[in-house]
Amino acid sequence: MQTSIEQKHGILAKMGDDLKSALQRDPAARSALEIFLLYPGLHALWFHRVNHWLWGIGLKLIARWGSQIARTFTGVEIHPGAQIGSGFFIDHGMGVVIGETAVVGQDVTIYHGVTLGGTSLEKGKRHPTIGNRVTIGAGAKVLGNIHIGDDSRIGANAVVVKSVPENSVVVGVPGQVVRRSQPHHASDMPDLNHTSLPDVLGVSLKDLLERVELLEAGAHLHQISKRHIHGPKADESWDEIEFQI
């Protein structure tokens, strides 16, 4: 009985943190009452807190039934087996899917359309583990038994299928990892700037083009130097060579 009371107290404490997190991270929120009444992401999370407790005490069918009710009313599907830390915030919420063996750390923020999905038909851990203070942009898919390090940011619509070190930014399909130039720390304000993302492909192409230009310029200079050393070919004049330069 004592354990059940402690678990219920833990649920209430986490629900309070969830409300505070929504108030802190959504600039559109005007009051705690507005969030309490109108935020489907928060309602889905609170449903999950109760469903996860039911799942933990063995009432798995009731827990699954409760998760389907939450899905119907909020558009957010969270399996009752998923482990979610305190301070979790789902902005807008619609289309979010979190699988059974997913583990989500503290103070994590995700946006609509995010999937924390599995890639295996076998039992056991098959969904991602999300570290603390991670932000996952709208439409992103994090798939498989991988780990997303603390203080990382997943860009909108990225598809992540490999583990990500802490303090990273992930963009693209498949997700490309970029180390932060300015690391995020636990004491910093929540990192919600999930649209500030490096153009990995564009930078790579620019670098490649610059390298090609240097190689072409080097080859051209080498060809000119050979002509000046050995003289023009039989069918060329020095004027033609100078004109080509």
Phi then psi for 171, rounded to 5 degrees? -135, 155
Q: Identify the three-state secondary structure at position 90.
A: strand
SS3 sequence of 12-31: HHHHHHHHHHHHHHCCCCCC
In this prediction, residue 238 has a pLDDT band, given cuts at 50, 70 and 90, of very low
Per-residue pLDDT at 162: 93
52 pLDDT above the threshold of 90:
yes
Ordered by start, the domain boundaries in the chain are 2-198, 201-244
What topology does CATH give the domain 2-198? UDP N-Acetylglucosamine Acyltransferase; domain 1 (2.160.10)
The reported pLDDT for the residue numbered 82 is 96
176 forms beta bridges with 171
Q: What pLDDT shows up at residue 69?
A: 95
Confidence at residue 3, expressed as pLDDT on a 0 to 100 scale: 43
* For helices 2-25 and 40-56, angle between their N-to-C axes, nearest 10 degrees: 160
pLDDT at position 26: 85
* DSSP secondary structure string for all residues of 17-76: HHHHHHHHH-TT---HHHHHHH-HHHHHHHHHHHHHHHHHTT-HHHHHHHHHHHHHHHS-
Cis-peptide into 40, omega within 30 deg: no
Task: Calculate Rg over the CA atoms of the chain.
Answer: 27
pLDDT tens digits for 7-33? 545 777 888 888 888 888 888 888 889
Q: Per residue in 60-99, pLDDT tens?
A: 999 999 999 999 999 999 999 999 998 899 998 899 999 9
At residue 143, the pLDDT reads 95
Contact 170, 177 (CB under 8 A): yes
Instruction: Let me know: does 232 contact 224? Beta carbons within 8 Å.
Output: no
At 190 the pLDDT is 58
Q: How confident is the model at residue 122 (pLDDT cuts 50, 70, 90)?
A: confident
Lowest mean pLDDT among 11-25, 89-103, 121-135, 225-239: 225-239
Is 0.75 surpassed by the pTM of this model? no
Res 233 pLDDT > 60? no
What would you measure as the largest C-alpha separation in the chain, in angstroms?
102
Tens of pLDDT along 184-219? 555 555 565 655 566 655 555 666 766 777 776 766
Q: Are 178 and 162 in contact (CB under 8 A)?
A: no
CA distances from 144 to 62, 79, 83, 99, 185 (A): 27, 15, 15, 10, 26
The HSE-up count of residue 83 (CA atoms within 13 Å, CB side) is 12
Q: What is the pLDDT of residue 10?
A: 72
What is the C-alpha to C-alpha distance for residues 73 and 170, in angstroms, rounded to an integer?
32
Is pLDDT above 70 for 5?
no
73 within 8 A of 2, measured Cβ to Cβ: no
**Average confidence (pLDDT) over 109-126:** 91
- What's the pLDDT score for residue 245? 38
Angle at 199 between CA 194 and CA 205, to 5 degrees: 170
User: What does pLDDT average to over the chain?
Assistant: 81
% of residues, the chain, pLDDT over 90: 46
194 close to 155: Cβ distance less than 8 angstroms: yes
Question: What's the burial of 180, exposed, middle or buried (CB within 10 Å: 0-12/13-18/19+)?
Answer: middle
